[in-house]
Chain A
Amino acid sequence: MEKKVWDPSPPGSWSFDPPRDKDPVTGEDMEKIPFEEYCRRMFDPDKLWEKPEALKGWRHISSTMYILSPHVGATLGEFGAEVIKVEMPKLGDPMRHTSPFNEAYLWPETDHRPQVGTGMGFLHANDNKYFITLDYHAPEAKELYYDLIRISDSMAECYRPGTFYRWGIGYPQLKEVNPRLIYIYLGGFGNYGPRRYGGSYDILGQAVGGLAAITGWHEDFGGHPTKQTNWLIDWYSGLTGLIGVLAAAHYRRKTGLGTFIDLSQISCSTRATGYAFPLYGRFGVVRQRWGNWDTLLSVHGIIMTGRTDDPEHPNPQISVESRYVMVSAFQDDDFRELCYIIGRPDLWEKYSSARERVKPEAQIEIYRALEEWASDKSRSEVVEILNNAGLIAVPVFSAKDVYECEHFWERGTLRWIDDPIFGDVLVHGATVKMSETPPRVKWVWRPIGADNIRIYHELLGYPLPKLKELWEKGVI
């Protein structure tokens, strides 16, 4: 696919006070145009840079590592906040050394080590941030940090509970420095409780929080608890924390007081287990894994087809693995149609009630019949047959399919950005579409300590000789 460059658009203002009734450029009556066209104009990705930012003027300090806690800052940054990421001098965030199979890196990581790059794992959790360095262990660090906090709206940290307090920059101390501060701690086990000192990772949240227990194939089918790909609990818990931060900002508007949020990512995993806990608490039934099928609806799951569309492709991910289809026909009419298509009207006779066909035995029989029917067809044939019959079927996309899907490009979800340091990088910006204040990605990241001068000198006003002194001591 051709790279898209986002040109500045034609004149006409969508910013601040967009007229509701007519298009600012063409003057067309917005009430009259078809709904899809209306949405296309409201969310037009080409108009992104003409629109204002929701959180302009907000300043956030991100004393963070990995994904969970940096994600709060990155998202605030996408909404227009000024986000300052504080890293350890020279070393930086360990996530910089993280790349799939040690393969993909962008250079340079820092001035100190020009031969080392920053790994792809760092991507998206550090958009739009300014990067400064500070060694919290140094005696000078406390005052520097207070100066940052005094002019900030919020901060996020992820060190083990009590560490910041010991360094003199915990919430009890910082709330005296800046009572408006919204302080969010993000970690695994939280700040209190018997296991409060346990470290945590995304995968730990999945394991111990309950998502692992319900994802994957059932034990009786030979399955194991399955990890959700790429750090679901880190990303999603970071957003959950952000909900708390933004809600606290709403409260602060009335009272002028900040808050402390103690967010446990394990709790977020537990929150995402659906009916598991009511069911256990009332009936003692322990929810188990149920593979690619659904415990609430049938047919509503993923089936394997006979072959892929491109069996000759050198990459097995395309030639072997891209052969799954998600089929959804849970309402009576849809299910009947599906049974006739696959030549098994007897299944419809047998399971004509929605409740009956969700029963485990029924699901096993139905999905087996479906896979049998699909076993001599390719993925696109199955999708085509079902879609032509008016049913819902979606191929299981690989990264290649997503990249080649026009839908995500026209919506501006996938876009090439021209990063000031690294050049062309493909990102998925604008995850949530907003008509007036859309979020945006400006740059993916910067080297370690790239903005020390900008922040310490230009923002806080420290004289350059002083900075040089701190640099020589290894504080920054």
Chain B
Amino acid sequence: MSDEKYEEKYVELEINDVKDTLLPRPWPVTEPRKREELYAPWVKDPRDPDGSYGEFVEENIHYKKAVGKPWALDGIIVLDCTVMGMAGAIAASYLGELGATVIKVEPIEGDPQRYWYPFGREEYAFEDIYTGEKVSPTFIHEHRNEYSITLNLETEKGREIFKRLAVHADIILENYPPGTFDEWGIGYRQLSRINPRLIYAWFGQLGQWGSMKDRTSKYGQWMLDPVGLSASEYVHSTGFPADLLPREFGGNPTRSGEWVGDIVAGVWGTVGILAALYYRENVSGRGQFIEATSAESYMEILDFNISWYAYDGSIKARIGGWDPNLNQYAWNPCKDGYMMIGGQSDRLWYRILQVIAQEDPEGARLIAEDPFLKEMAARNALEGLIKTYTVTAHWLVNNTRAEAEAKMNAREVAAAPVLMIDEIAEYEHFVYRGHVIEVMDEHYGRVLVSNSPLAHQHRTPARIKWVGRPLGLDNGEIFARYLGIGPEEMKKLAREGVTTWYHE
């Protein structure tokens, strides 16, 4: 072996501008192993000794086998009128991925999300191959399988057209400030008259009614995530405590990197919508009014926090990467990043110690023989957490993520590294399973996106057909199909400022 192989090579890059760092790269850099290798006869698998289960799953559940399968929500028409917030976008994309026809109704100038570039950098925009129109990666990612039409709901004419469209709709999604649609005459109480089968869902941060409902600033700015997260004590209980990490280094209550309050509200809203759909189809034949808010949706995820407060006045504090409920169940620093190790039941807990004992027998014995740590529930006391994690972290500093993962997995312990975005895109298992996939889009070319979690199904898997669309692309088709409005009338409407017409 030559030494050259181990010599680190630095490539001198002259970076004068942000643009110089924007290097597109091939994906995936390494192809995952082939199926034949993974299920080869020498791969001894105690749960599936003859390989028949693996065979069944690969043949029927694999996401690549989805092509040509039916769509679960075939024939359901959704009008997505949400702008700015993510909740509606998430709901619309889940419905769209499962086969519903989702029509995004945008104002003339488009959903502001289209122009929200990360850190305001226009260099990160995706360009339409045909027109050069720019759009943000957020919009591309969240508005999959949606048609885009423009309709100015602030005009009388626009609302009239919207009403005619609502006659065809099964589901309407909306997130304008409370009462806006009602004032415009296109709220639930008006639309349910003309379409009693309509399921109408409103998304927001705090609610349409109540003493702390959603409101706008005096200049009309909406409330957006993380308002709901702040009001649901999510923020209060997330992050590192100040005695673990000083406040000036981030030991503060922390919001999520993504707008998870909206994501959760979107998912809860979708569950409500589908339950309402089930009820409509099987029982009542009519729709209903649904409201999903970030604060309340997130409160369910916060689990027992509020019940705990009611129980004995305890307020959940921040505890960093640890968890006060389970031991072991945390990520701790290791040689090259952070490593998550989990195992709560006695069986798994002692397996972790067996792995640690091979390199740190004294530390492992200290824990294994501690009478205080013998019982599963007793280990959750703060003292137990500190003892356990001290030993684990000691072991971890001598191991890289890959080493620790391999050693723990050999004993079937749930362990995994904290991965950065690029590492996730390259992680073999995720590439194999298509957690991250490349979509070949007509307008934006190859786009790397995270796949729908519902993509792995026997009969009706979710699929991504296209990513976000250029503004008003489907005006012609949708207006003609549902409203009988042809190009001539479209032109007239475009001149009146009700909609837009691409060809003019």
Out of A213, A246, A296, A437, name the residue touching B138 (CB < 8 Å): A296
Q: Is A213 in contact with B453, judged by CB distance below 8 angstroms? A: no
10 A-B interface contacts by CB (under 8 A)? A54-B278, A101-B382, A200-B416, A232-B301, A235-B303, A248-B459, A271-B451, A394-B231, A431-B300, A434-B288
User: Please, how many residues of chain B have a CB less than 8 angstroms from a CB on the other chain?
Assistant: 211
Find the residue from B245, B324, B453, B457 having the highest chain A CB count within 10 A. Answer: B453
Chain A, range 253-281, C-beta contacts under 8 Å to B? 253, 255, 257-268, 270-281
Closest 5 A/B residue pairs (Cβ): A281-B448, A390-B218, A217-B250, A222-B249, A214-B257
Complex CA–CA separation, A225 to B483 (angstroms): 51
> Does B145 sit at the interface, judged by CB under 8 A?
no
A281 touches B27 (CB 8 A): yes
What residues of chain B lie closer than 8 Å to A189, measured between beta carbons? Answer: 429, 433
Nearest neighbor of A208 in chain B, beta-carbon distance = B416
Taking CB atoms and an 8 Å cut-off, the chain A residues in 78-102 that contact chain B are 79, 94, 97-102
> Do B236 and A203 have beta carbons less than 8 Å apart?
no
Report which of A211, A253, A279, A281 forms a contact with B257, defined as CB distance below 8 A.
A211
Q: Which of A228-256 contact B (CB under 8 A)?
A: 228-232, 235-237, 239-244, 246-251, 253, 255
- Known contacts A54-B279, A123-B304, A296 near B116 by CB under 8 Å: yes
Cβ < 8 Å to A, chain B residues 6-64: 21-25, 27, 32-33, 38, 45, 47-48, 52-54, 56-58, 60-62
Please measure, in the bound complex, the distance between the C-alpha atom of A364 and the C-alpha atom of B351, giving whole angstroms. 46
Once the chains are docked, how many angstroms separate the CA of A419 from the CA of B446? 54
B483 to chain A, nearest CB (A): 25
Given contacts A101-B324, A191-B456, contact A55 B275 (CB under 8 A): yes
Bound complex: CA A392 to CA B225 (Å)? 12
* Complex alpha-carbon distance, A223 and B338, angstroms: 13
Contact with B along A177-203 (1 / 0, CB 8 A): 000000000001111111111111101
Q: Contact partner of B331 among A207, A285, A437, CB < 8 A? A: A207
Which chain B positions have C-beta within 8 A of A298? 120
Q: Which of B147-155, B306-314, B362-370, B473-481 contacts A (4 or more CB under 8 A)?
A: B306-314
Closest to A283 in B: B22
Contact assessment for B447 and A407 in the assembled complex, using a CB-CB cutoff below 8 Å: no
Interface residues of A in 422-468 (CB under 8 A from B): 425-428, 431-437, 439
Residue A375 lies at the interface, judged by CB distance under 8 Å to chain B: no
B94: min CB distance to chain A, Å:
6
Which of B161-169, B185-193, B392-400 forms part of the interface with chain A? B185-193
Instruction: Mark each residue of chain B from 118 to 129: 1 if its CB lies under 8 Å from any CB of chain A, else 0.
Output: 111111101000
| Distance in angstroms between the alpha carbons of A87 and B430 in the assembled complex | 31
A-chain residues with CB within 8 Å of residue B322 when the two chains form the complex: 227
Asked if B254 is at the interface (CB within 8 A of a chain A CB), the reply is: yes
How long is the Cα–Cα vector from A322 to B317 in the complex, in angstroms?
11
Q: Which residues of B contact A285 (CB under 8 A)?
A: 21-22, 124
Least CB distance from B43 to A in Å reads 10
A217 to B257, alpha carbons, bound, how many Å? 9
Chain B hits for A229, CB < 8 A: 234, 237-238, 302, 316, 318
Residues of B close to A79: CB separation below 8 A: 275
Query: Per-residue CB proximity of A46-83 to B under 8 Å, as 1/0?
Result: 00000010111000000000010000000100010000
A372, B289: Cα distance in complex, Å: 45
B26 CB → nearest A CB, Å: 10
- Determine which of A217, A268, A333 lies in contact with B254 in the assembled complex, contact meaning CB atoms within 8 Å: A217
Interface string of A323-334 (1 = CB under 8 A from B): 010101111011
Which A residues are in CB contact (< 8 Å) with B430?
266-267, 270
By the criterion CB–CB under 8 Å, are B211 and A244 in contact? no
Which residues in A have their C-beta under 8 angstroms from that of B58? 192
Contact B288–A257 (Cβ < 8 Å): no
Q: Which of B217, B259, B446 contacts A281 (CB 8 A)?
A: B446
Q: A216-B254, A322-B236 are in contact. Are A406 and B217 (CB under 8 A)?
A: no
Whether A244 lies near B462 (C-beta < 8 A) is yes
Q: Count chain B CB atoms within 10 A of each CB in A31, A189, A266, A359 and give the residue with the most.
A: A266
B299 at the interface (CB under 8 A from A): yes
Check: A410 CB closer than 8 A to any chain B CB.
yes
Cα–Cα distance between A225 and B449 once the two chains are bound (Å): 22
The verdict on A307 contacting chain B, using a C-beta distance below 8 Å, is no
Question: In the bound complex, do residue A275 and residue B326 qualify as a contact, i.e. CB atoms below 8 Å apart?
Answer: no
Beyond A225-B331, A230-B316, A434-B276, 20 additional pairs, beta carbon < 8 A = A36-B213, A213-B420, A226-B238, A236-B264, A244-B454, A251-B460, A261-B454, A264-B453, A278-B137, A280-B422, A281-B446, A296-B138, A326-B226, A326-B230, A334-B221, A358-B119, A389-B218, A392-B216, A399-B233, A436-B279
* With A201-B414, A392-B223 as contacts: A317 and B260 at CB distance below 8 Å: no
Interface string of B457-499 (1 = CB under 8 A from A): 1111010000100000000000000000000000000000000
A162 touches B48 (CB 8 A): yes
Which chain B residues lie closer than 8 Å to A476 at the CB level?
A: none
Q: Which residues of A contact B409 (CB under 8 A)?
A: 195, 198
Which A residues lie within 8 Å of B354 (CB)?
none
Using Cβ atoms and an 8 Å threshold, which residues of chain A touch B218? 389-391
